[in-house]
Amino acid sequence: MRSHNMTKGLEKAPHRSLLHALGLTRTEMERPLIGVVNAANEVVPGHMHLDRIAEAVKAGVRAAGGTPMEVPAIAVCDGLAMNHEGMRFSLPSREIIADSVEIMATAHPFDGLVLIPNCDKCVPGMLMAALRLNIPAIVVSGGPMLAGDNNTDLNSVFEAVGKLRAGLINEDELRQVEESACPGCGSCSGMFTANTMNCLSEAVGLALPGNGTIPAVSSARIRLAKEAGMQILELIRRDLRPRQIVTEKAVRNAVACDMALGGSTNTVLHLPAVFAEAGLSLTLDIFDEVSRTTPNLCKLAPAGRHHIEDLHRAGGIPAVLAELLRKGHIDGSPLTVTGRALAENIADLNARVMDESVIHPLEQPYSPEGGIAILHGNLAPQGAVVKQSAVAPEMKRREAVARVFECEEDAMHAILDGKIKPGDVVVIRYEGPRGGPGMREMLSPTSAIAGMGLDKDVALITDGRFSGATRGAAIGHISPEAADGGPIALVEEGDIIRIDIPARRLELLVDDAVLDKRRASLRPRALKTSSPFLRRYAGQVSSAASGAVFSGGSAGTCD
């Protein structure tokens, strides 16, 4: 066993002495040592209950004959970090989480890992670590939050801010929404980034069935955690490792499931980063190729009225996968952490759609194409991303007048002050991975636009990114970003921008000669941070088009 490097042999007597100091017996040292990576904290609502999940995992490990050893992981709440300096740290935390799991699992050579994330960057960070280390590993998340009163969620509160400013609700009504929309523990209840990634952990085979949808408050979530703790011992016995599970076929399955669900646009950042750890390439072109041939079967919040609890009652991810498998949209052969192939899991569960109002049949999809579209054009030569399933039909083709802002805050003030009018396209730049730095989410401005009733008249484009809770004609990840001299840096107030989502085009309608003159006068901008960490991040991070992974390079500078 891998842990024998720490526990066996004469020269490891000092190591055993330290393990005795932990209270471990010799018998416990001789069993497989399982790293239980727990991201619990008292800041993130999705993580405040993870100690209960960890205790259940450890009970399962002990029941199956292993010795659990719990280690911590950080996690950022994107909702709490939104619309201020803290959001610059959210995406970079993904790399820190992956690195810290690698450090703990290598410095202390565990035989296997049970990874307990829940919210946004923690899930891809832990998946990256699992594939990087390639030791037996299984993911069990904390589960989704229930929807709030009147079918509300966190996005309802963000949109209520815009409604208040537009005079559509009063302060008492806003207070009622903010006090009831998030009723307890769990990842926010729509098909936002955290829940999308937890669902795709199932689809790619690294989590047990039910991981993405069993509610956080359900006793079934505790049972799932115990089963994960027991199953890691079986994976060790079989020496079944993540890279045997995450193959090219499994990657395409995950993308197809994402398109059927209408998942968060952040998956276009996270899935390439995760799969790159296994030496697998996932380009924007693959997302678009799969999207064009995979029907959109679900309209979960923010695209529709259903939440994750509804998806769970309708059969969960196994039902979605069963529907996709029925017509060959996914491959049933890849192995999963159950030790069986994906198709075997579906058959064993007798997985099927229990509510066709939540999971549409393939013959009656919401759309013949998937939830995400990749756009190209002279404004986004390397690509841009939009959740087309959450865009109003009248906004899918539009020529709009550019209103240009150098940061999110300036755009937010203009929106709330009523300076954005129907027919405008809000352009927010220098918010990319390097220029931000940190590629902030733009949920506040997109929600304000929607809350003020402008989501069918106003688009927003950015080299930053969006929350999974964003709806409307919100086009992000524009690459190259402004800080790298991308065309978005050349846009001026009053320019006309053509959006054509069905044709996958994003065009700046300005003559090339004019753009050449603007490019010649473009000057590099100083980084918008004094943080040493973010300066290092800006010097190492790659384009959003390749997942914003580290690519080396020197640290940036800051005035």
Q: 3-class SS at 146?
A: coil
User: Catalytic: 467?
Assistant: yes
Of 3, 100, 389, 467, which one is the catalytic site residue? 467
Contact 352, 346 (CB under 8 A): no
Contacts of 368 (CB under 8 A, 6+ apart): 295, 296
Q: What is the DSSP string of 227-291?
A: HHHHHHHHHHHHT--HHHHS-HHHHHHHHHHHHHHT--TTHHHHHHHHHHTTT----HHHHHHHH
d(CA 381, CA 123) in angstroms, rounded, equals: 29
Contacts of 520 (CB under 8 A, 6+ apart): none
Contacts of 505 (CB under 8 A, 6+ apart): 375, 376, 377, 498, 499
List the structure tokens of 1.
């066993």
Amino acid at 191: M
Contacts of 137 (CB under 8 A, 6+ apart): 112, 113, 114, 115, 130, 206, 232, 235, 241, 242
Burial state string for 357-388 with b = 16 or more CB within 10 A and e = fewer than 16:
ebbbebeebbbebbbbbbbbbbbbebbbbbbb
Which of 19, 176, 82 minimizes the C-alpha distance to 438? 82
Parallel, antiparallel or unpaired: strands 372-377 and 496-500: unpaired
Burial state string for 437-459 with b = 16 or more CB within 10 A and e = fewer than 16:
bbbbbbbbbbbbbbbbebbebbb
Sheet holding 33-38, edge to edge: 67-72, 33-38, 112-116, 137-139
Whole-angstrom CA distances from 445 to 407, 440, 471 are: 11, 12, 11
d(CA 72, CA 356) in angstroms, rounded, equals: 40
Which of 60, 208, 48, 213 minimizes the C-alpha distance to 140? 208
List the structure tokens of 7.
């526990």
Residues catalogued as catalytic: 467
